[in-house]
Amino acid sequence: MLRKTYLQEHRKALFSKMLLCDELWPHLLEVDEQAHAMLETMVTQMAKAEGVTESLKSTDPMRWIGLMNSFKSAAGEIIMRGGMDAKDGIKQQSNNNSNSRDP
């Protein structure tokens, strides 16, 4: 719900418009889904880059869990550091590509 707080505090007009037009909850769901997809992709890429494989999972599960948790934490920080403006850009870009209304 960070996105909702960001909109309420920094994009008040947009928040009000989305709330009144019943667009807020679908927007929040879409942003959440995008963030989860980015997280999954980044964790997979980090694991591949570090050579963390399924064989490690079977031979040393505790090490595998530790590494994967570290990757997930790092990816989450990267996504959060990207900030809400980055998510605005993602939303606006997808809207421009589909010729729908501005977020």
Residue 83's pLDDT is 55
Q: Are 56 and 63 in contact (CB under 8 A)?
A: yes
Q: Is residue 99 part of a domain?
A: no
Coil, strand or helix at 74: helix
Per-residue pLDDT, 98 = 44
Hey, CA dihedral for 94, 95, 98, 99, is it positive or negative? negative
Residue span of the structural domain in which 74 resides: 2-83
Maximum Cα–Cα distance across the chain: 54
How many domains does one find in the chain? Answer: 1
- Residue 81 is predicted with a pLDDT of 84
Task: Please indicate, yes or no, if residue 95 is contained in any of the structural domains.
Answer: no
Residue-by-residue pLDDT tens, the chain, 103 positions = 788 999 999 999 999 999 999 999 999 999 999 999 999 999 999 999 999 999 999 999 999 999 999 999 999 999 888 754 444 444 443 444 344 444 4
Q: Is residue 18 part of a domain?
A: yes
For 30, phi then psi, to 5°, come to: -65, -45
Structural domain contains residue 94:
no
